[in-house]
Amino acid sequence: MQQELLLEFFSEEIPARFQKKAVSDAKFVFEKILNDYGAEFSALESYISPRRITIRVLHLHPSTKDLCTKKRGPKISSSEDAINGFIKSNGKRKEDLFEENGYYYINTEVMGADIKEIMSDMIEDFIVNMPWPKSMRWYLEDQKTLSAFWVRPMRSILCVYNGRVIETHIKSLGITTCDYTFGHRFLSSGKIEISNFDDYHNKLEKSYVMLDFFKKREYIDQEITQKAASMGLCLTIDEDLLNEVAGLVEYPFIHIGTIDEKFMSLPSIVLSTSMKVHQKYFTLTYPNSVIAPFFGTVTNVPGTEIMHIGLDRVLRARLADAMFFYKEDTNVTLEAFAQRLSNVVFHEKLGLMSHKIDRMMSIAKTKEERRAVALCKADLLTQMVGEFPELQGIMGEIYAKGQDEELDVCMAIREHYKPLGAGGTLPGSKIGARVAFFDKLDTLVGFLGIGIYPTGSKDPFALRRAALCIIRLFCDFDEDILENEKLSWYIETLITSYSDQGIALEHDTLVEVETFITDRFKVYISGKLEVDHEIIKSVVSSFKSLDFDYKAAVLKAKRLLELTKLDEFQVVKEAYKRAAGVLGDLEFSTGSVRDLTFKDESMIALKDSVSDLEGNIFNFDLFTKAARSLLSACDNVLINTNDAEEKSKNLRLFGKFIGLIEKNIGIL
């Protein structure tokens, strides 16, 4: 294809968990680089496999266009020397400077360049800006220095434009670009010369490299599903495992293995977790969802009889360990495990895990809640959770059922970790939701109370997530998990419990915790409803306290968002501001105004329209009518009259209007 640029960054194996995101990151970063350099192109594609990340640019013009960019200089308050230095270094004159936001700026012109001449710079920029979760450097023998950072040591860079290699040296990696690549590590050998993307794609396929991560993922899914279906089985879909396995192999070969029947007595979750975590095996079930004694797996090379025997044998060893752990755990009661929590440190400044349980117990109200709290962390001491931390809560429920605990208690043990984040599922029971709330609130009170806060992107104790989960329990769970208490009651009770345990928290912990949760609520509602900051501020401020009804706040924000789209909203907003201006800082009663009497027709009309709002289901037409009446009264009546009695009635009526607006809509 004419005007096609093909780049391949060939390295040692890229970690599987990095690959899916790297596809979109590479596309975003290189598109930005092309635009910053003034390159003209029609489209950009990116691909990844374990040893390479590939970029294809379509219809890339041979030269970049001229650019005029704005360059920021020193602050306006800077010294003359600094300003003159900025002017001189950019080859400009003092009259070329212009001011913006407290800084001096100049316009700079960059002339277009041959794409081949700037290719080295663009590749260097890509190396620097590609955001790998973790990267490394390696020693460059020729240059006697360390390389630039990359996810794994780079071995070659393919760079072909219009069918010909652009040979340029990438100093930061000690590599000169070329027109060849390499196939599968074990099923292919030697260099593969490349002229364009189609040639590249076809030759890699023949060399057992499936370039497209997402097609490879789909192929694995379909092949295991088909092989399982031929045996009357179903594949249990696991998106994370699919992503990981697709990132482990250059070309997938699918196999079905067998689970020894003696392990089928293990809980299904133990079987599937052991297979997934240790072996990257897929779980297969019968059509009735009962786990079958088979598994699906993917290898990087074709299977042999010896390989199949090895796959089964390794799994037997893993499941034998799981069977041992399970039997050992079931020989001990969950309550006995719970007693051992006195040997587990929650945090060096916040006591033991048993202390945390005692604090949670102080805000539990029913017998079932207290039992669930007492046992909810017990499985942390089991051998099974020690081997598979992702089963915490799940194993607790399994063991609790085996020991004839009440069903609601068993469910709560599993559910108290939910929700796991913004998209996680909520607990299915009220006891589970309440214990989840206790757990996360205790964590917030403790850490914020000793002055540990998230900083920037760092949040080692997941405090933001804990607050978000509390908010979701408030807003998205069907029932009231506060049981008619205020949030402040729970916080104050926990603070007292910390104090009783000899753990001193800061005196302003109550306000700090409520503020922290409210701040996360603002983030939550912004994302959930896509509302701007002003609406969020209006809604939160209208509650007059940090201790407010979060579910009601969501409904109010939804209402306000819709109302702002109406023309009549501006009338209501203007009336609110006029009324607020009249009242100023005066306190006003929100009691009924039905008993008030007025002589002026404007005030009578206002009193009637405000009275219509009292006790009625929200009706915006009535608010609009009241707003128009208030504006009319402001134009025709002296509200702050010298007659003390009339003034009091006027202000009381205006105050009632404001109170109804804030209660039903927000602070405008």
Q: Tell me the residue type at 31.
A: E
Strand 98-100 and strand 103-110: the pairing is antiparallel
- Rounded to an integer, what distance in angstroms lies between the CA atom of residue 537 and that of residue 543? 11
Residues 375, 336 contacting (CB under 8 angstroms)? no
Sequence-distant (6+) residues with CB within 8 A of 602 are: 629, 632, 633, 635, 636, 637
Residues 274, 319 contacting (CB under 8 angstroms)? yes
Confidence at residue 1, expressed as pLDDT on a 0 to 100 scale: 52
Give the three-class secondary structure for 656: helix
Confidence at residue 592, expressed as pLDDT on a 0 to 100 scale: 83
Give the three-class secondary structure for 155: strand
**Beta bridge pairs of residue 158:** 8, 178
- Cα-trace Rg, the chain: 33
**Beta bridge pairs of residue 9:** 53, 157
Show the tokens assigned to 633. Answer: 């009264």
Residues 389, 349 contacting (CB under 8 angstroms)? no
Per domain, the residue ranges of the chain are 5-63+116-206, 67-110, 213-330, 355-397+405-553, 566-664
Give the three-class secondary structure for 547: coil
Cα angle, residue 79 at apex, residues 74 and 81 outer, rounded to 5°: 90
Residue 119 CA: distances (Å) to CA of 37, 38, 141 = 10, 13, 24
Confidence at residue 261, expressed as pLDDT on a 0 to 100 scale: 95
Pick the CATH number of 67-110 from 3.40.1620, 3.30.70, 2.30.29, 2.60.40: 3.30.70
Average pLDDT for runs of 10 along the chain of length 668: 90 97 97 93 97 97 83 85 84 84 81 91 96 96 93 97 95 96 95 96 97 97 97 95 97 96 96 95 96 97 93 95 96 96 95 96 96 97 96 97 96 94 89 97 97 90 94 92 92 96 94 94 86 85 82 88 89 91 76 84 89 83 92 88 87 90 87
Confidence at residue 590, expressed as pLDDT on a 0 to 100 scale: 67
Sequence-distant (6+) residues with CB within 8 A of 180 are: 156, 158, 191, 192, 193, 194
